[in-house]
């Protein structure tokens, strides 16, 4: 039973660099959402994709972008990294945008 997978598990970058995070949804799930979780807080919505199209965007700057591929996997890109981008980045998949979401293990990003 393969759940949501994310890579890499951990990442260390320096300010100004670029990062790409990857997510593979549960088989059969066509919607992927990305969240940022800062220590001690709840997940904050970044993007939702469904059938390769952006369906929703949270209050994040344009440095954050994402895309979904034909196999429904997804990438989250963050440019010009800031110290404040340090967080756990969670991917969640669902059958569709209105369905129950299941989270991946996350990618822990540290920006120095």
Partner 1 sequence: GENVEQHPSTLSVQEGDSAVIKCTYSDSASNYFPWYKQELGKRPQLIIDIRSNVGEKKDQRIAVTLNKTAKHFSLHITETQPEDSAVYFCAARKGWGKFQFGAGTQVVVTP
- By CB under 8 A, name the binding residues for partner 1: 4, 33, 35, 40-45, 48, 55-56, 58, 90, 96-98, 100-106
Q: 17 or 94: whose CB is closer to partner 1?
A: 94
Closest contact distance (angstroms) between CB of 15 and partner 1 is 25
Closest contact distance (angstroms) between CB of 66 and partner 1 is 14
β-strands 74-78, 19-24 pairing: antiparallel
Residue from 21, 20, 23, 17 nearest 4 by CA = 23
Q: Are 47 and 66 in contact (CB under 8 A)?
A: yes
Q: 8 or 16: whose CB is closer to partner 1?
A: 8
Closest contact distance (angstroms) between CB of 60 and partner 1 is 12
Closest contact distance (angstroms) between CB of 16 and partner 1 is 28
42-63: buried (b, 16+ CB within 10 Å) or exposed (e) per residue?
A: ebeebbbbbeeeeeeeeebeee
Q: 64 or 103: whose CB is closer to partner 1?
A: 103
- As to burial, measured by CB atoms within 10 angstroms (0-12 exposed, 13-18 middle, 19+ buried), residue 87 is buried
Q: 19 or 93: whose CB is closer to partner 1?
A: 93
């Amino acid at each position: 039973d393969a759940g949501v997978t994310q890579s890499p598990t951990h990442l260390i970058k320096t300010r100004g660099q670029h990062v790409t995070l990857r997510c593979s949804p549960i088989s059969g799930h066509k919607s992927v959402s990305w969240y940022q979780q800062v220590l001690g807080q709840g997940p904050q919505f970044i993007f939702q994709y469904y059938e390769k199209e952006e369906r929703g965007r949270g209050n994040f700057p344009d440095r954050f972008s994402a895309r979904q591929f034909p196999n429904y996997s997804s990438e989250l890109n963050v440019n010009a990294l800031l110290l404040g981008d340090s967080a756990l980045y969670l991917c969640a998949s669902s059958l569709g945008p209105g369905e129950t979401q299941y989270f991946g293990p996350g990618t822990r990003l540290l920006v120095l």
